[in-house]
Amino acid sequence: MLSLDPKILQTSKLHSYLLSAVAPRPIAFASTVDTNGNPNLSPYSFFNVFSSNPPILIFSPSRRVRDNSEKHTLQNVEATKEVVINVVNFDLVHQMSLSSSEYPEGVNEFEKAGLTMLKSDVVKPFRVGEAPIQFECKVNEIIKLGTEGGAGNLVICEVVKFHIDEDVLDEDGSINQKKLDLVARAGGSFYSRARKGFFEIPKPLSSLGIGVDSFPDFVSNSMVLTGNDLGMLANIVALPTQEDVINFIADLGTRYPNIKTATHRQKHKLARNYLSFGDVESAWKILLS
């Protein structure tokens, strides 16, 4: 058996071991605002429920390992003492993943990920409209666990109001776990779907994806593409050039001879097929043809 002393391991290596060993972990999709009311949205898998009376949730936005900087979420909860914790189900996992990108301060991750901002009843941060359960919270305390890169910050949140989509409830009002279809985080690029097991999502581009807010309207408003489809399509640096689109469609015509006269709906269905295999580039070329 491999025996390791955490004090002599490189922090990034220790971080990798911990995240792979303590898994799967629930995800807190944390919505905050700064003192000027600008929204921020980011997921955290150092998260769980710790008390029912009072109802307490705790999540931890750690200091970045690479440069020891603080995340915007931590700065916002320190300043406003409010947060909305949204749960993540399979239907929005790709949008959630995209929102974890290191977008600059002031960029609205709701818009980048194509998610709906719902006004909260008690706190100022917005709820994620697509999340099946949303917890409005007051921050009771923040416990800093260290000052170096990788150090956690325990944000102790008291639930003051919460909202449950009735579609995930049984007739007796209890939550149906299969209908809820939660996802959890594991090590590397792995996630776990509660009812189906592990799957992978490529990590968001370090160069930052274009975001759903950069899509042509006929794509962002598609009646065929799902939230997960939009999240995948948003994780590219730039749209394909028109020349690339023309060349691709010319080749594609041998397999799909009617592609040039296909309707938007038909193209969107074909693009979804390519997305199911992770081929985002080809999906975009079909959508833009």
**Model pLDDT, residue 143:** 97
Question: Residue 8: what pLDDT?
Answer: 87
Whole-structure pTM over 0.85, yes or no?
A: yes
Q: Among 176, 162, 174, 173, which residue's Cα sits nearest to residue 131?
A: 162
Task: Identify which has the larger pLDDT, 70 or 34.
Answer: 34
Average pLDDT over residues 1-10: 88
CA-based nearest residue to 213, from 225, 223, 221: 221
- Delimit the domains of the chain by residue range: 11-200, 212-287
Predicted pLDDT at 36: 93
- Run of H or E including 51: strand 47-52
Distance from the Cα of residue 175 to its chain's centroid: 22
Cβ atoms of 11 and 66 within 8 Å: the answer is no
- Which residues, including other chains, have CB under 8 Å from residue 155's CB and lie 6 or more apart? 58, 59, 60, 61, 74, 77, 83, 139, 142
pLDDT band at 19 (very low <50, low <70, confident <90, very high): confident
Taking residues 278-282, report their average pLDDT. Answer: 93
Instruction: List pLDDT tens digits, range 127-183.
Output: 999 999 999 999 999 999 999 888 899 999 999 999 999 999 999 999 999 999 999
pLDDT digits (tens, 9 = 90+) for 253-278: 778 888 878 898 999 999 999 999 99
What homologous superfamily does CATH list for 11-200?
Answer: Electron Transport, Fmn-binding Protein; Chain A (2.30.110.10)
What whole-number distance in Å separates Cα of residue 73 and Cα of residue 100?
A: 11
